[in-house]
Chain A
Amino acid sequence: GPLSEQRLMDMKLGQLPMWLATCDFSPRGLLGGVQKAWSSYYDKYINVKRGGPAGISMLLAGYCLLSYGWNYQHISKISFLVSI
């Protein structure tokens, strides 16, 4: 209905569970959601006449954070005997 058509950023906090209920969580729906998110990001920051460094720098920063999160288990085990 009209609830699922609105975007996530226009939601109020109380309406969030309802919105999540109307969401489509099948693989096809998830893929569609990912495509919509990517196309909106692309049209806003990259597909412009005079873009700047912001378009890809945000992607790189996100990649850095994600890879740090994936390798956190390995990084947190600091070896105490490195310097000696």
Chain B
Amino acid sequence: VLHSTRPLHTSQQCSAPVPPLPEKGGEVRHGLIPEEFFQFLYPKTGVTGPYMLGTGLLLYLLSKEIYVVNHETVASACILAVIIYGVKKFGPDVAAFADKLNEEKVASALAVKNEAIKDLETAIEQEKKEQWRVEGRSYLFDAKRNNVAMLLETNYRERLMTVYSEVKKRLDYQLAMQNLKRQKEQDHMIQWVEKSVIQSITPQQQKESVAKCILDLKALSRSAQAAA
């Protein structure tokens, strides 16, 4: 009935941490009566007041038979004895076990938190390293610019070399052509001159030259004979 119409999120959102649970519960004496009762009666009746009150109440209930003593009394007495013995004997062990469970829960939560903090710290360091790397960006680009300039220079020089070799080839060709032409002209002229000379030698001239040669040869032989 109450939960369906309860308004939610009415107060301001508060990001303060949840207050921790109290360490120990309220003080209780003999496991049954809260300490506040004893403090309440202390100013008027001192320390023994509540015990006197308890004894008087008990005797009154017994004598007036408001509390009837029957088989249930014996049964409850035995049960109470067993319960008290069990609590006194195994209480601390159970308490230690429960404490250990709590410790494990808290430790796992703490481990998660520490893990998260460590991961974030490594992330921060990596981020700082990346920021440091950014500073070296200018050097990187300078090196790249140098590389590109080098490539351009190399390419330019290669092409210059190509141009030079091509032009030289063409000039060599022209030179060879001229040489060849001159050679051919020379050969042709020599041939033509020889042919015309041979043609111009008439048989008359041939006979005269042959006789002259024989005369020369005789003279030569004579001089050779004289020398030897």
Interface residues of A (CB under 8 A from B): 28, 31-32, 35, 44-55, 57-58, 61, 64, 68, 72, 75-76, 78
Contact with B31, one of A53, A68, A76 (Cβ below 8 angstroms): A53
**A54 to nearest B CB, angstroms?**
4
Q: Contacts A75-B68, A76-B68, A78-B68 given: A48-B21 contact, CB under 8 Å?
A: yes
Question: Which of A31, A50, A61, A75 contacts B23, CB < 8 Å?
Answer: A50
| B-chain residues with CB within 8 Å of residue A35 when the two chains form the complex | 2
Report the separation of the CA atoms of residues A24 and B76 in the bound assembly, to the nearest whole angstrom.
Answer: 39
B167 to chain A, nearest CB (A): 99
CA distance A44 to B26 in the complex (A): 6
Chain B minimum-CB-distance residue to A76: B68
Known: A31-B2, A44-B25, A72-B66; 13 extra A-B contacts, CB below 8 A, are: A31-B1, A48-B25, A49-B23, A50-B23, A50-B99, A51-B25, A54-B28, A54-B31, A58-B28, A75-B70, A75-B72, A78-B68, A78-B70
CB neighbours (8 Å) of B99 from chain A are 50
Bound complex: CA A10 to CA B24 (Å): 23
Separation in Å of the B44 CB from the closest CB of chain A? 14
A12: min CB distance to chain B, Å: 14
Residues in chain A near residue B76, CB distance under 8 A? 64
**In the complex, A76 Cα to B68 Cα: how many Å?**
7
Q: For A46, what are the chain B residues with a Cβ–Cβ distance below 8 Å?
A: 25
B91 part of interface (Cβ distance < 8 Å): yes
Chain B residues whose CB sits within 8 angstroms of the CB of A64 once the complex forms:
76
Does B109 interact with chain A (Cβ within 8 Å)?
A: no
Q: Which of B11-34 contact A (CB under 8 A)?
A: 20-26, 28, 31-32, 34
**Chain B residues whose C-beta falls within 8 Å of the C-beta of A52 in the assembled complex:** 24-25, 28, 31, 91, 95
What are 29 residue pairs bridging A and B, where the CB atoms are less than 8 Å apart in the complex? A28-B1, A28-B2, A35-B2, A44-B25, A44-B26, A46-B25, A47-B21, A48-B23, A48-B24, A48-B25, A49-B21, A49-B24, A50-B23, A50-B24, A50-B99, A51-B25, A52-B25, A52-B31, A53-B87, A54-B25, A54-B28, A54-B32, A58-B34, A72-B66, A75-B70, A76-B65, A76-B68, A78-B68, A78-B70
Q: Give complex CA distance A28, B91 in Å.
A: 40
Complexed CA–CA distance, A44 and B68 (Å): 34
Pick the 9 closest A-B CB pairs, nearest first: A54-B28, A45-B25, A48-B25, A44-B26, A51-B25, A57-B31, A49-B21, A48-B22, A75-B68
CB distance from A71 to the nearest CB of B (A): 10
